[in-house]
Structure 1
Amino acid sequence: MLQSTGGHPPNPRQTKIAVVGGGSTYTPELIDGFARLRDALPIGELVLIDPDAGRLDLVGGLARRIFARQGHPGTITTTSDLDAGAAGADAVLLQLRVGGQAAREKDETWPLECGCVGQETTGAGGLAKALRTVPVVLDIAERVRRNAPDAWIVDFTNPVGIVTRALLQAGHRAVGLCNVAIGLQRKFAALLEVAPGDVHLDHVGLNHLTWETGVRLGGPEGENVLPRLLAEHGDAIAGDLRLPRQILDRLGVVPSYYLRYFYAHDAVVGEMRTKPSRAAEVAAMEKRLLEMYGDPSLDEKPALLAQRGGAFYSEAAVDLVASLLGGTGSPYQVVNTYNNGTLPFLPDDAVVEVQAAVGTKGAAPLPLPDLDPLYGGLIANVTAYEELALEAALRGGRDRVFKALLAHPLIGQFEHAEALTERLVAHNREHFPWA
């Protein structure tokens, strides 16, 4: 049943947003953005949907207090009933984690046994998450289509590129969203002492495999100040990425911090073997956050949430949904959508993460100049892996899992792929009917 407290009745001229995974500890970040940016995205009703009633009660209570503190007139409801919660929604945001932090802990540990990076969105761990997640997301999307046929689906669920491709290929009105680009935009704006909206990124690649090949002031045709950024602030940028400054200077671009898993693979594996997993850190953090969310005097997102990840997710989500529903958001945004010739060496139905013109008809990638083979080659390789990963997620089978692992540039060896296949299946058997 839907539960609602406080607020005013939904305004029929305003938006209904549903959040699947509304019991996530991320959610107060999202709520804070919805409250602060209500002029950009007027929300009449916000529905938080989650099968975990306990978490949903804690997060929903804090969400209502945040809205009340900031004077937001919208109504917040909570439910474990996906069909009821999604009914009539204008947009549905997906932010779920199949298997929870326990599955993530495994994803980050068993690949290390084979000398490979243990990470939840790339490599063998990323494949495991994709295999668990894609069938669940597609089932959710079909139910959304039945109950809210005109709704846009915004996917923040990792691995965003693979999940978004699954949604698009199934015919859903979907756009993928990641907070990496907006985080870099905010970082660069602070270094340049300009407003974030004045910074336009020449952002190219796949989700969690991107490079900033230009940083422009004022828009796509603006002055490229990336050389100045690197010259004046290269140490700070490199420090954030945990990459050597000379890599940035030699490349002349800013890679996302996920490129560290490719550019410094062996060093990263060594570090991962000697310290607690990120999953263990996040699990402890989530426990503390949920305790804080239960405090009836708390009516704002706690500072600790900034350490959880997902910074600026809410601002990116508001901007994207505002554009998809009313065309009122920023004219250009970094999203995950069909390639459609943007990178000519990829299939049209590959999903790329690039700057796009976003409006009520969806996202249209902006034209890109020819890409250096140094980046294009890796993009093509990982795209091939993602195609095989999606095939494995949709059809199952050890052979398909093996082929996806063998294709991944962080694995690529027969013995590793064999050993990782056995571990992946063993640790996820309850999620795979075919196993």
Structure 2
Amino acid sequence: MNYQETLDYLFNALPMFQRIGAAAFKKDLSNTIKLCDHLDQPQHKFKSIHIAGTNGKGSSSHMLAAILQEAGYKVGLYTSPHLKSFTERIKINGQEIPEQKVVDFVATNRAFLDELKPSFFEMSVGLAFQHFAEEKVDYAVVEVGMGGRLDSTNVLRPEACLITNIGLDHTQFLGDTLPLIAAEKGGIIKQDIPVIISQAQAETIEVFIRIAQERNAPIFFADTYFEITKKGLNKDTLLNDYLVDKRGEMMEVSLDLLGDYQQYNLGGLMMTVEVLQEQGLKISIPIIQSALRKAGKSTGLKGRFQQLSASPLILCDTAHNADGLRIVLNQLKGYKADKYHFILGMVNDKDIGSVLSLFPKEASYYFCQANIPRALAAEELLERAKEAGLEGEIIADVNQAIEEVSKKAKKNELIFVGGSTFVVAEIENL
């Protein structure tokens, strides 16, 4: 098979949650364990940091990988979902896995995969772990797909675990309360392995402490060690400046990831670095500062409060649940635009009503639909928006919507594209 035929095999022969949703979700690690057995346990051939959370785990993974790269380590990075190409999921020092590696993996293991019938995600995890092992990475930063306890990545025995924000997302799989979701995310906590919690949330503190105590895992709530203050956007460097206060010890950092929500990720990131330093990693303050200035660029992160155009001003973000979008919308207010245009699409398994209630009623709306089975029909999104008091029209294709809205937007008006990772993924000039 060539690369395209290999992708067709992966996407079509094996269920893929990214595209079809609940039917592809498997609450079982047995296939991943069998696949790793078949591959000769690649997950144990490199050191790793395991990262879970509702919001912030992707950004935190990229920032940590950037710091480790800057420190001179060979760093694997596994994240999901991808925006443009499958190979984005698996990187070493910012370089995506070669397409031929994907072809060879499937060709070599085709008989076993046909017999085991693993999910798309299980297969991609096996491929990533084998790639990292073969390339002898020093560290792999591995982002959980969903949940944690029964996520395919949870066959690792990492050097440290990081859990970012806990919010209401994927409630049909993980539970409909924050403590229930925290219990699933906390499933990545391992016996005797330190775990860092980015945000001490009242509803989840006891859950994490209980799991950590049961597993004798040292636990660090980052916001009791670090206070992060956003100083603002530096118009000369186009970087967001932050002041990091570790109990009176001050450090300034500048970040090329412009979303305000990074303020909530930085504490967990800094605490994780400190834990790794205590394990012997050579990471100095200048290395941290240099890495964060180019974290997005060096790791290839896209779609996080990204500017697509200056005139008209077009911004996009992959935030897709109430917690994430609340912070994004608050940041958009700071632009004080004369008018806001929102190009929105969503998937059909989210709490649509809670999300739409956050958006301002005085803006203009254009509803689109990503080209995946999970996408909520633009017509239904329009009806749900009307129920929330939002007025707009349907332009089903996101790129057509951007083109048409760009033509009508006047000076000092702002266009925002988002509502779903998959809508952002279809933007042509991302």
Q: Whose helix fraction is larger, Structure 1's or Structure 2's?
A: 1
TM-score past 0.5 threshold: no
TM-score under structure 1 length normalisation: 0.26
TM-score under structure 2 length normalisation: 0.26
